[in-house]
A and B are shown apart, each in its own frame.
Chain A
Amino acid sequence: MNPWAEIDRVRSQSTKRCHLDRRRFLATAGGGIGMLALASLVADSAGAAEGSSRLANPYAVRPPHFAPRAKRVIWLFMHGGPSQVDLFDPKPQLAKLAGQPLPESFGMVMTRRQVAQNPLLGPVRPFRPRGKSGLPISDFLPYLADCADELCVIRSVHGDSVNHPQSVYQMNTGSILMGKPSMGSWVAYGLGSENQDMPAFVVLPDPGGGLKGGPPAWGCGILPVAYQGVTMRAGTTPILDLAPPSLISQGQQRATIDFLQKLNRRHLHDRDGDDELSARIAAYELAFRMQAAAPELVDTTRETPETLALYGVDQESTREFGQRCLLARRMIENGVRFVQLYSGDTNGWDAHNDVESNHGQLCQRTDKPIAGLLTDLKRRGLLDETLVVWGGEFGRMPMSESGKGRDHNPWGYTVWLAGGGVKGGLAYGATDDVGLRAAENKVHVRDLHATILHLLGLDYQALSVLHNGLEERLTGPDEAHVVDDILA
């Protein structure tokens, strides 16, 4: 009998009753506390074996909980919060009401910059039905429009905070608090990686820097630091301290590491094969392999001109983001488990003043590269097993700000998925008439997370770690729901 299961069972009952049951359980389970202790002993010995294999090779491939629909993830994070009503969620009613205040029927609205009373701003550019599916996408995204039949657009995502950092954390870690493990870390922890020469979770930040909330967005929280996102850049030094210093030649370094490993093996020999010390020897070998593998991964010189053009690497305005999209494909292709790309420096998609100008620029920079990525993944047969996620930390308000801008909106916005295991050409869920709040088939951020984990063959309940007596999981303590209707 599993006492934790017993506790979970009673937990679902009313609070008061839960406590009574807990006590009854403790009182009747024949020294109930002893049972709990036993459970923790059992967990410990299992944990010890598990711990030592994780130590020796944190990226070893681990089986999913059930057959996965996708094996890898590319997450395109549009930092600042792109506007759903101007990109993927057409609102004719908003166009009609433009210039007028939000009808009173919508009630109180919590906003970051007190814009609730401002006049509504109609969609900035027109929408058109695209592809065979007729999925509407606005004129901001002409290239992506050609991929409409691949997209599964969830229009009813909602979160809990009107502030950037809290929402950046929530979208990445499930919690508006700082310091919880990010989704990439959870996935790396749960599945390991098919590439043993590279970290399992790679982050490609915007070179402009300034992500609101900073590196905790890809932090590992309570999970081992091996699962933290490792930031990489294009260029010759893609990882911090990857290359030997300029005054140390490669041959010289290999000789030094060989001598070091000799010292370490001798040290290990006198210490009964201590797992942790073996792991350290392995880590130096992995480091050495990464020195060769990582620059090779980011070296795009052998890509064909046609491929480079597909991603927009040949054009000034799309070069930077195109290059990173191409790196993402190269990593996925080489078995890296989870790649996250950020678009947008410290201001990013945060279109407070002028949606047309802000989104005009950012869509121009990202539209062709993202369409190129989807196209390239598909023609290489990678899209079936790769889940592509697009979204920001929140969306934007239907009300205007400073005339032509929009304020933050966590209450209803769009995230789209494409590839492994999701239905293409689908719009799922809906916001209200003006795009203010999620209204139909609402998908909370934790539901989105549960769904992504599900696609990867991971049960969001089971992917948990006991910490300070509590089970920590990506979706937090509240119940989450896998959005079954979007699964292919």
Chain B
Amino acid sequence: MTAPRKLSRALVACLVATVAVSLAVSRSDRATTRADDTIQHEALFDEASADELEIYDTDREHWSFTPLARPAVPMPADLKDARGAIDCFIAERLAKRDLEPLPEADRVTLIRRLSFDLVGLPPTPDEVDAFVADDSPDAYERLVDRLLASPHYGQRWGQHWLDLARFAETDGFEHDKLRPEAWRYRDWVIDALNADLPYDRFVALQLAGDEVAPDDPQSAIATAFCLSGPDMPDINSQEERRQNLLTEMTATVGSVFMALQVGCAQCHDHKYDPVSQADFYRLRTIFEPAVQVEANKSVFVLHEDSAATKPGHLLVRGDWRRPGAEVKPAFPRILNVHGDQVPPPPEGAATTRRRTALANWLIEDDHPLTSRVMANRVWQHHFGAGLCRTTSDFGIAGEEPSHPELLDWLASDLVNRGWSLKRLHGRIVASAAYRRASRVNRTGLSDDDLAESQAHMAHLLEADPANRSLGRFPRQRLEGEAVRDAMLAAAGALNTRMGGPGIMPPLPKELLETVLADHWKVTPDPAEHDRRSIYVFARRNLRLPILEVFDRPDANASCPRRNRSTTAVQSLLMVNSDFSLTAARKLAGAVLAGSPNDANEQVRLVFRRALSREPEDDERMAAVAFLADQTQLLKDEGRDAGSLARPDPMPDASGESLDVHEAAALVDLCLAVLNSSEFLYVD
């Protein structure tokens, strides 16, 4: 493509004026700012474009760079168990592979799955009973609605977003200094999700809340997203610091909102994707006026105090000491299907409004990436993997989606229904694909039926080991936060208070010795120690051990998908930590309060509280036998009351048959169940 590079100054001035006037108008009118291709190319011309790599049609053909369009819903001959459009897409692929999906999971499995997925907590025994007993046709839908309306929803899904935002409440590096206001951003995310703030607005506020809603201080807080990464306020060159922040922020914005690893282009043109180094610095230039640093002071939100613009520069090999060609603020060319521009600030503007322009561009209805990326992220958290499994890389080196049309359909649906995330969740969890069993449930099956089901399952596992066709629901391990919260919930200890500054539960003293004295001041009120994990103070250089061993990311870079590890150090923590023993003692205390004398009933209560189900007969008998054996073992060891871990609270000893060894054995049973795979995994 060759186009005249030079344009008369008058024409540029004219163009600039047009753009300036139209900037202030609403989204629907913004189409008028779109210039035709030639003019666009000229207006974008900057020093760096002279020998910049061009974008070719073959580049634009990559699946995620094509403008979003709503695909038709397929109608395969065999609709399998379809409940809606999602299932039609899935049935099509299953049919192509000649795979038969598993049937719907049982009710108990479904409520446990939905509860952990939507609110991050186990259902209470009463909730399980009510759902199992509810035979009205909309029982499932009402359960979903109730969970989505719960304030716990924002606490659950807020953590997914905070992982992406590499959120922490300290700077990291040597001094790991406190960011005293950072929790306000965490609360903003939770509140926004609970209020179902439309995703387009959610994006715009985090990039440009200060410009978009200047009268609402909450909106400025949203821009903390941009500055939530690590920072070194005491670095000897504040210019280096500012440049690092800008580069990190730009890379994160590209990765989170566009699933484009633009950060790879900071030193040289992107290795795989059609993103030039100039593209990166043009995007970065959008943020330049909003990042101000002061030595030894932490950053929190973006702030601009002038509409005056300065030229941006490309940095040679990414080195801040070597500014190169001048660049103008602009959107990555490969995605800029309409040739939108970053206009100069309108007359009398208080800020450059570059970030507003970026936000408006990102949330255009047919933006190739914004809605695809988010719909895929939401899918990932429901199913454990995205339709495109590289959720933060939709570029050439990323993976192609298993169901590209389904992804496009979901993305269009997100946009068409007002960018409502709750509606998207509703759609997804209503699908037959989501409700499928993850295994063969033996209960109630004849030997023949069981054999047939097992053969079916074996075939699914062999034909599609990675479950890309979604013939079954994938089993998922709880994240660290959900493990901790579920332990507190089962123990009846969870403090559900919302919001406010982060809390610091006690830490093992060996760990405290490794940090500076004022870095972890245990919150004085012990009731606060049992709040949900999202409210635990997020120190960048020190994660709560139970969260760390269960793969909480370190907040040094945006984390699109957590590791899911299984280690001995995890097991040691789960069997030996004070936290585990305390939870087991409280669970035992709650069980004893429900049934002081009946071992069978105690076992039943432990299962219901921790695993959301009744024990099977063989399990109940094994557990009762364990209680008896363990009681005997403790007696044989000659343990007196003071040397035993007892339930909390220990019921009044006046109860004639309550034996302290039996009570201690019950604590061990609780500890075992809290450690069990079934407690840690969701079917």
Q: Do A and B come from one complex?
A: yes
**Measuring CB to CB, which residues of chain A are less than 8 angstroms from any residue of chain B?**
7, 11, 15-16, 18-20, 22-23, 26-27, 33, 36-37, 40, 44-45, 48, 55, 58, 111-114, 162-166, 177-179, 199, 205, 207, 209-210, 212-216, 219, 222, 224-226, 230-231, 233, 237, 239-245, 247-249, 251-253, 255-257, 259-260, 262-264, 266-268, 270-272, 274, 276-277, 279-281, 283-284, 286-287, 290-291, 346, 468-470, 477
What distance in Å separates the Cβ of A195 from its nearest Cβ neighbour in chain B?
12
CB A320 to nearest CB in B, in angstroms, measures 14
Residue ID in chain A nearest B268 by CB atoms: A15
Give CA–CA (A356, B359) in the complex, Å.
58
Knowing that A114-B236, A231-B514 are A-B contacts, what are 20 other residue pairs whose CB atoms are under 8 Å apart, sorted by A's residue number?
A15-B269, A16-B51, A33-B400, A112-B236, A163-B174, A165-B174, A165-B232, A209-B513, A210-B514, A212-B174, A216-B556, A219-B554, A224-B565, A225-B565, A226-B565, A239-B572, A241-B577, A242-B576, A277-B681, A286-B571
User: Whole-angstrom distance from the CB of A183 to the nearest CB of chain B?
Assistant: 17
Q: Is B677 an interface residue (CB 8 A)?
A: yes
| Interface of chain B: mostly helix, strand, loop or mixed | loop
**Chain A residues near B569 (CB, 8 Å)?**
199, 225, 230, 239-240, 287
* Chain B 148-184 interface mask (CB, 8 Å, partner A; 1/0): 0000000000000000000000001110100000000
A164 touches B174 (CB 8 A): yes
Inter-subunit contact B397/A469 (CB<8 Å)? yes
Task: Name 20 A/B residue pairs within 8 A (Cβ), A-sorted.
Answer: A15-B53, A15-B269, A36-B397, A113-B236, A163-B236, A178-B556, A214-B542, A225-B563, A225-B565, A225-B567, A240-B511, A241-B545, A242-B576, A252-B633, A252-B637, A255-B626, A255-B629, A255-B668, A264-B677, A284-B675
Q: How far does the alpha carbon of A178 sit from the alpha carbon of B235 in the complex, in Å?
A: 14
A242 to B508, CA, bound (A): 12
Give every chain B residue within 8 A of A244 (Cβ-Cβ): 575-576
Residues on the A chain within 8 Å of B556, using CB:
177-179, 216
* B439 touching A271, Cβ below 8 Å: yes
B278 to chain A, nearest CB (A): 12
Q: Which of B430-456 contact A (CB under 8 A)?
A: 438-442
Check A23–B59 contact: CB distance below 8 A: yes
A259/B390 in contact, CB under 8 A:
no
Known A267-B677, A270-B442: A468·B58 in contact at CB below 8 Å: no
Evaluate whether A272 and B173 lie within 8 angstroms (CB atoms) in the complex, with A23-B56, A470-B397 already known: no
Among A251, A256, A271, A469, the residue within 8 A (CB) of B575 is: A256
Are B51 and A280 neighbours in the complex by a CB distance under 8 Å?
A: no
CB-contact partner of B581 in A33, A205, A248, under 8 A:
A248
Inter-subunit contact B173/A213 (CB<8 Å)? yes
Instruction: Give the residue name and chain of the B residue nearest to A8 (CB).
Output: B271
Q: How far is the CB of A203 from chain B (nearest CB, A)?
A: 11
B681 touches A33 (CB 8 A): no
Q: Complex formed: what's the CA distance from A55 to B567 in Å?
A: 9
Given A178-B173, A215-B541, A283-B571: A248 in contact with B58 (beta carbons within 8 A): no
Cross-interface CB contact of B542 among A45, A166, A215, cutoff 8 Å: A215
Set of chain A residues within 8 Å of B61, measured between Cβ atoms: 33
Contact check, A247 vs B572: say whether CB atoms are below 8 A apart: no
Residues of B within 8 A of A225 (CB): 548-549, 551, 563, 565, 567, 569
With the chains together, A449 CA to B155 CA distance in Å? 42
Contact A255 B633 (CB under 8 A): yes
Contact B568 A33, beta carbon cutoff 8 Å: no
Indicate if B622 sits at the interface (CB-CB under 8 A).
Answer: yes
Establish whether residues A245 and B477, one from each chain, have CB atoms under 8 Å apart when the complex forms: no
A-facing mask of B254-293, CB < 8 A → 1, else 0? 0100000100100111011010000000000000000000
> Of A33, A44, A280, A469, which contacts B566 at CB under 8 A?
A280
Could you say which residues of chain B place their CB within 8 Å of the CB of A281? 677
Residue B373 lies at the interface, judged by CB distance under 8 Å to chain A: no
Give Cα A441 to B601, complex, Å.
76
Q: Is B630 interfacial (CB-CB < 8 Å)?
A: yes
Cα distance, A485 to B521, chains bound together (Å): 52
Alpha-carbon distance between A303 and B383 when the two chains are bound, in angstroms: 54
Chain A residues within an 8 Å CB radius of B671: 256
Chain B residues with CB below 8 A from A477, complex form: 267
Given contacts A230-B569, A259-B672, A266-B619, whether A469 and B554 have CB atoms under 8 Å apart is: no
Q: Which residue of B lies closest to A169 (CB)?
A: B173
B457 contacts partner chain A, Cβ-Cβ < 8 Å:
yes
**Residue numbers in A under 8 Å from B634 (CB-CB):** 252
Contact residues in B for A177 (Cβ distance below 8 Å): 230, 556-557
Distance, CA A174 to CA B196, complexed state (A): 42
Closest Cβ of chain A to B661, distance in Å, is 11
The closest CB in chain B to the CB of A55 belongs to B566
Which residue of chain A lies nearest to B62 when distances are taken between CB atoms in the complex?
Answer: A33
Q: Which residues of B contact A286 (CB under 8 A)?
A: 568, 571
Q: How far is the CA of A109 from the CA of B541 in the complex (A)?
A: 31
Contact of A272 among B457, B510, B551, B644 (CB under 8 A): B457
**B residues 394-416 touching A (CB-CB < 8 Å):** 395-400
Judging by beta carbons under 8 Å apart, are A40 and B399 in contact? yes
Nearest CB to that of A238 among chain B residues?
B510
Q: Does B37 reach chain A (CB closer than 8 Å)?
A: no
Say how far B226's CB is from chain A's closest CB, in angstroms: 17
Q: How far is the CA of A243 from the CA of B581 in the complex (A)?
A: 13
B581 touches A247 (CB 8 A): yes
Contact of B630 among A164, A255, A469 (CB under 8 A): A255
Interface string of B620-656 (1 = CB under 8 A from A): 0011001001100110010100011100000000000
Contact, CB under 8 Å: B678 / A252: no
In the bound complex, CA of A242 to CA of B568 (Å):
10
A198 → chain B closest CB, angstroms: 9
- Top 9 A-B residue pairs of the complex, sorted by shortest distance between their CB atoms: A179-B556, A469-B397, A287-B571, A214-B541, A286-B568, A247-B645, A178-B556, A469-B393, A212-B174
- Taking a contact as CB atoms under 8 Å apart, the answer to whether B626 and A468 are in contact is no
| Pairwise interchain contact B465-A48, C-beta atoms closer than 8 A | yes
Q: Quick one: which of B52-108 are within 8 Å of A by CB?
A: 53, 56, 58-59, 61-63
B676, CB-defined interface residue at 8 Å: yes
A237–chain B nearest beta-carbon distance, Å? 7
Chain A residues positioned under 8 Å from B232 (CB to CB): 163, 165-166
Assess whether B570 is interfacial by the CB under 8 Å rule.
yes
A279 to B172, Cβ gap below 8 A? no
**Smallest beta-carbon distance A428→chain B, Å:** 28
- Is A251's CB under 8 angstroms from B513's CB? no
Q: Is A210 in contact with B581, judged by CB distance below 8 angstroms?
A: no
State how many angstroms separate the Cβ of A143 from the closest Cβ of chain B. Answer: 29
Is B645 touching A245 in the complex (CB atoms < 8 A)?
yes
B195 interface contact, C-beta 8 A: no
CB neighbours of B267 from chain A (8 A): 477
Query: In the assembly, what is the distance between CA of A226 and CA of B62, in Å?
Result: 37
